[in-house]
Amino acid sequence: MKTVLITGTSSGYGLATARYFHEQGWKVVATMRRPQPELLPQSDRMSVLPLDVTSPASIEACLAAAGPFDVLVNNAGIGMVGAFEASPMTQVRRLFETNTLGVMALTQAVLPQMRRQGGGVIVNVTSSVVLAPSPFAAAYTATKTAIEGFSRSLAKELVAFDIGIKLVEPGYAPTTRFGANTELPIADLIPADYADFARPIFEAFAAPTVTTREIDVAEAVWRAATDTTGQQRFPAGPDAVAFWEASR
């Protein structure tokens, strides 16, 4: 029986992915900053552990409790939507600490284990903003683009150890808690001089014609984790797939 460790499983993509892997018969280690085991199936194949990817001590404790696993899914992240001009640099740094450096720190921590066991797979969840630039997401886009470059380079140096690095690029999913996870109200990050430009953009976001569902992402993570073809990038959701095809 294979084991997957997934970060950020308290809601959205992470929660759906933990449930999906459990349904496929895997053992799942679901991690979140404040454990809520009631969100997930009660099963001897499901465990819930605390993890803050910005804390080295938390990473060390989580990996010690988790034991060996075959697949790591780096899903935990926070967002920020607004004009970059109005975005506090303290919050920009928080974005990078979680979305970029947190992914890198956890990845670095699991590599020795994966080398010793003869291989493994690391799936990094980014965003369709890396496929199609979006206004009012400059800092967030930067954190995800950094992980794309990191993953492509890292994949080259881990080939000899049979450790695969995969990328899942979800589209826009209005049913997730992305807005709640932004920490700063969007209205506070749209200066008056940007209002006329921003209005139609946010009206379009409020009434999208094509969106991504949580299950789309869970299925894409599953395909990435079990892929044997060498494919590295997996767009998730019909909007992300459309962006992917247009960018090729």
CB 79 within 8 A of CB 140: yes
**Dist CA 236 CA 17 (whole Å):** 12
Question: Is 140 annotated in the active site?
Answer: yes
**Dist CA 147 CA 161 (whole Å):** 21
Q: How far is Cα of residue 207 from the mean position of the Cα atoms in its chain?
A: 24
**Alpha carbon separation from 128 to 219, 235, 238, 240 (Å, rounded):** 16, 7, 11, 5
Sign of the dihedral through C-alpha 35, 53, 161, 151: positive
- φ/ψ of 51, rounded to 5, equals -160, 125
- φ/ψ of 114, rounded to 5, equals -65, -35
C-alpha radius of gyration, the chain, whole number: 18
- φ/ψ of 27, rounded to 5, equals -85, 135
**Residue owning tokens 């010690």:** 64
Of these residues, 20, 140, 172, 194, which one is catalytic?
140
**Dist CA 59 CA 57 (whole Å):** 5
Return the active site residues: 140
